[in-house]
Amino acid sequence: MKKLVLLLTTLAFASIAACAQSDQTITAVFSGMKFQVPEAPMIVGALGQSNNILLIKYSQSSGKRYISFNTENSLDTGGCDRANFFMAVIGAKPANQCDEAAVTSFQSVFRNGSDSGVWKNDERDFYYFLSDDDRSFVFFSSNDGRLIKLESDFLDAKDLRTALGIVEPH
């Protein structure tokens, strides 16, 4: 009996230690996709139909510590497909196929003063615009082809990659 109690106690402490060392996340579902976001949000809200927004707040302060997912139905890609548009925006490709005004306009809003690039996995490309002191954005296509924008004012690159299920390169 003492061995059983000792074994159970040891397993309980090992489980607590293992949980304390791992990042704690919860699953958020948006547009038929699952995302791993930090646990313990203070507020979760969603607007459907044409708004199609999921907002997860981690602070009582207005406009502080949030994650939002929404569909971008009206993005002007300057007459080219999304992949070419985003590659032109991040400067990885010339903007010859896209209207330069659309590329420049998007850059002035999302790219200026931020680190930008593309993360890839087997399923899709994620175009990121990361800021150290302001909002960060990631754009990607959903399973049904809609453009999704992930926005946060507190997640860093590692947290965003975790949320999106992107495995860190080794």
Q: Give the mean pLDDT per block of 10 residues along the chain (170 residues).
A: 34 38 81 94 86 92 94 88 94 83 92 89 94 90 93 96 82
Residue 128 lies in a domain: yes
Residue 108 lies in a domain: no
What pLDDT score was predicted for residue 54?
95
What pLDDT score was predicted for residue 14?
36
Residue 127 lies in a domain: yes
What pLDDT score was predicted for residue 95?
74
Q: Which structural domain range is residue 122 located in? A: 25-71+113-164
Residue 36 lies in a domain: yes
Give the integer Cα–Cα distance in Å for 63 and 84: 32
What pLDDT score was predicted for residue 148?
96
How many folded domains does the chain comprise? 1
Collapsing DSSP to helix, strand or coil, 25 comes out as strand
Contact assessment for residue 140 and residue 148, using Cβ atoms and an 8 Å cutoff:
yes
What pLDDT score was predicted for residue 4?
31
Contact assessment for residue 28 and residue 46, using Cβ atoms and an 8 Å cutoff:
no
Residue 54 lies in a domain: yes
Residue 12 lies in a domain: no
Buried b / exposed e along 77-116 (16+ C-beta atoms within 10 A): bbebebebbbbbbbeeeebebbbeebbeebbeebbeebeb
The pTM score is 0.82
Q: Specify the amino acid at residue 20.
A: A
Residue 169 lies in a domain: no
Cα 18 to the center of its chain, rounded Å: 26
Tokens of 125: 């490309």
Residue 26 pairs in a beta bridge with 37
Residue 61 lies in a domain: yes
